[in-house]
A = this chain, B = another copy of it.
Amino acid sequence: MVYESIDNKKIKDIKKLTQKKYRDKFNLFIVEGEHLVLEAYKKGVLKQLILEKDYILPLDVDTLYVTNNVLSYLSSLDTPGKVIGVVEKLENTNKLGDKILMLDNVQDPGNLGTIIRSAVAFNINTIVLGEGCVDLYNSKVIRASQGLLFHINIIESNLLELIPNLKEKEYTIIGTKVTFGKSLKSIDKFKKICIIMGNEGNGMSEEISELTDFNVYIDMNKDCESLNVGVAASIILYELDK
């Protein structure tokens, strides 16, 4: 059968997942496009596939065929594609690894997506989202991450509690400030590191700043006051991955 009506209960239930409260309630989220759907399928977390009625994508999962009208209703895109997936939220692990990236109040979904992509590129083991960060399952985050959220451990945590814990385990806690601390080019290698990136406008919160071992900054021309946080994180992760 082909689902033609946006009033159908199944369709309405999927639509609910565009809201955080329902994503949290059902432990599900939506991805759009064949690339992301296949990433979720390979990871074993694709629960339901929604296809434009004539589209062919034979996956071993509950599949609903729908009209373009229904796709438009479910999609967060101006130009909806033909493939949507309902995906189980990621099961993450408390084994954090030796390279942790902590985000303090990063609010822009595009920035979080970019940071996830760069964190995978530069071999971060775990991303820790502190309170105040944009929801990981926001459609723009998922799109900007290019599906790389399926390739890295991401947890939510209270940073003020976690940092002292990491210090006991001999992590070096590296904060980031625009102009204060050590030049990124000058810092040594550490076996276990935790890098903290702060909010787009205000940087790291004061309480978090007080817990760092030192801060790094990126040398740059004085005409440029600061870099986009996604760019700054990417440069720092690149440099520390050498």
| Chain A residues engaging chain B, CB cutoff 8 angstroms | 110, 114, 117-118, 120-123, 144, 146, 148, 151, 185, 218-221, 223-225, 227-228, 230-231, 234-235, 238-239, 241-242
Contacts A118-B224, A219-B241, A231-B234 given; 8 further ones with Cβ under 8 A? A117-B224, A120-B223, A121-B220, A121-B227, A123-B221, A151-B223, A218-B238, A238-B239
Asked whether A118 and B227 contact (CB < 8 A) given A110-B110, A235-B235, the answer is yes
Bound together, the chains give a CA A123 to CA B146 distance in angstroms of: 30
| A158, chain B: closest CB distance, angstroms | 28
Among all A-B residue pairs, the 7 with the closest Cβ atoms:
A121-B220, A121-B224, A231-B234, A151-B223, A120-B224, A235-B238, A120-B223
Bound together, the chains give a CA A144 to CA B228 distance in angstroms of: 9
Q: Which residues of chain B come closer than 8 Å to A227, judged between CB atoms?
A: 117-118, 121, 234
Q: Which residues of chain B come closer than 8 Å to A144, judged between CB atoms?
A: 228
By beta carbon, the residue of chain B nearest A123 is B221
Q: Which residues of chain B come closer than 8 Å to A221, judged between CB atoms?
A: 120-123
By beta carbon, the residue of chain B nearest A151 is B223
Bound together, the chains give a CA A158 to CA B41 distance in angstroms of: 44
Bound together, the chains give a CA A118 to CA B234 distance in angstroms of: 12
| A194, chain B: closest CB distance, angstroms | 19
Q: Which residues of chain B come closer than 8 Å to A241, judged between CB atoms?
A: 219
Asked whether A231 and B120 contact (CB < 8 A) given A148-B224, A223-B151, A224-B148, the answer is no
| A182, chain B: closest CB distance, angstroms | 16
Bound together, the chains give a CA A99 to CA B220 distance in angstroms of: 15
7 chain-A/chain-B pairs, Cβ below 8 angstroms: A114-B230, A117-B228, A117-B231, A121-B220, A148-B224, A227-B234, A228-B230
